[in-house]
Amino acid sequence: MKRITTFLCTSLIMQAMSAQTFIQAYKDRADMVTQTNITTNLQEFGNLGIKKTGSVANANTLTWIKNKYLSYGYTASQIEESPFTYGSTNSKNLIITKTGTLYPNKYVIICGHFDTIYGPGVNDNGSGTSIILEAARILKNVPTEYSIKFIHFSGEEQGLIGSSHYVNNVAYQGGVRKLDIKLVFNLDQVGGVKGNNNNTVYCDEDQGGVSSNNAASAAVTQQLRNCTALYSPLQTAVDPAEDTDYIPFERKGEVITGFFERIRSSYPHTTKDTFANVDPVYVYNIGKATVGALQHFATASTTLGANKTAPQNSLENIKLYPNPASNILNIELPDKTANFSFEITNISGRTLLKVNNETKINVSTLERGVYVGILKVGEQTFVKNIMIER
């Protein structure tokens, strides 16, 4: 469930693309989203019935989601059922954790609710649930520098009960922050309306609540728009963040963004919120945008998986080592005759070092910390976080 208010203008794809670098491996993985999987997930979700929080159907849906993760190869140690109560009702959130390689204790949260009221809720929010599942399947064996938590909340329709419980009892305890969260990326009601020209998706931006996180939210929302343009056929518009599961995080000052359908369906919260009334192709395209964006937010590996073979002259075959580096950072290209440039920036994007055609980079002047390395060969760009340790 989300709000009625919508706001701001539609983006042009070229404007969105200009501020962010295309990464072929991210596109390859975004293209691993399949229409068949999205459609199957939507249909199976619908067949589970009305998933009111505390109901048998709600519990069965949690089990269905959990079994999906097990089928993707996630282990029991990565999957957590987190119970909560409100009044006399009991329910559970489901949290799946994929550990990062460089920042194992800093998390990108991708989330959406699976509870419904009055109907099967294929749009609200089987659509978000189906996309999160597909993203988790594709990224299962892809190294990411930041940890990812895939969270499926219950109790959203009763007033963000499940997400509020998670924030106030897990992420924060006694008002003390226990979970280092990079950002929260929420998907709610992204099913579209069948028969409409569903070519635009809203990207949610924090424009209220706690003001200290608004600028950071605006930045990641722009990144979400950029990724949508780079890795899907969709256009974007900005919508103010309201009334869904990222709000409890926002109230604690966390950085939030999310997707919501541009043409608002009237079927959610009715018996007609069924598979027949959503646009599966729209969900599929938002799925591609989601996989692209999630890789960007969590800094996924730019090396192709074992199921793909990169051309010998591809940037997928480069090596930057050692990483962490101390005084010298080495660059090894598959084509030793190629002309290239290499730049190191800080996390804010300020250039600290730039060289041309040098394979041994003196980084001794850089302070201990994390930087961004940008290698350009012709029209190809490779981006990698670089750690300096001494």
pLDDT tens-digit series, residues 128-162: 999 999 999 999 999 999 999 999 999 999 999 99
The overall average pLDDT reported for the chain is: 90
Tally of structural domains, the chain:
2
Q: 105-116 pLDDT, tens per residue?
A: 999 999 999 999
Residues 66 and 148 in one domain: yes
Instruction: Over range 329-338, report the average pLDDT.
Output: 86
pLDDT digits 0-9 by tens, 193-218:
999 999 999 999 999 999 999 999 99
Residue 123 sits in the same domain as residue 47: yes
Q: Global pTM?
A: 0.78
Could you list the residue range(s) of the whole structural domain that residue 186 is in? 13-298
Region 257-267: mean pLDDT is: 97
Question: Does position 285 have pLDDT exceeding 50, yes or no?
Answer: yes
Query: CATH number, domain at 90?
Result: 3.40.630.10
Q: What's residue 316's pLDDT?
A: 52
- Res 336: pLDDT: 80
Q: Are residues 184 and 319 in the same domain?
A: no
Strands 235-240 and 146-153: unpaired
Residue 107's H or E segment, with its range, is: strand 103-113
* 311 pLDDT tier (thresholds 50, 70, 90): very low
Regarding whether 133 and 17 lie in a shared domain, the answer is yes
Domain contains 5: no
- Is residue 190 a part of any domain in this protein? yes
Task: Tell me which of 18 and 285 has the higher pLDDT.
Answer: 285
* Domain presence at residue 309: no
On the question of pLDDT at 365 being above 90, the answer is yes
Report, as an integer, the average pLDDT of 34-48: 96
Strand order in the sheet with 89-98: 79-86, 89-98, 146-153, 103-113, 180-187, 256-261, 200-205, 235-240
Q: Which is more confident, 347 or 279?
A: 279
Residues 6+ apart with CB under 8 A from 331: 318, 319, 320, 340, 342, 358, 359, 360, 361, 375
pLDDT band at 73 (very low <50, low <70, confident <90, very high): very high
Same domain, 107 and 148: yes
Is residue 196 located within the same domain as residue 85?
Answer: yes
Higher pLDDT, 311 or 75: 75
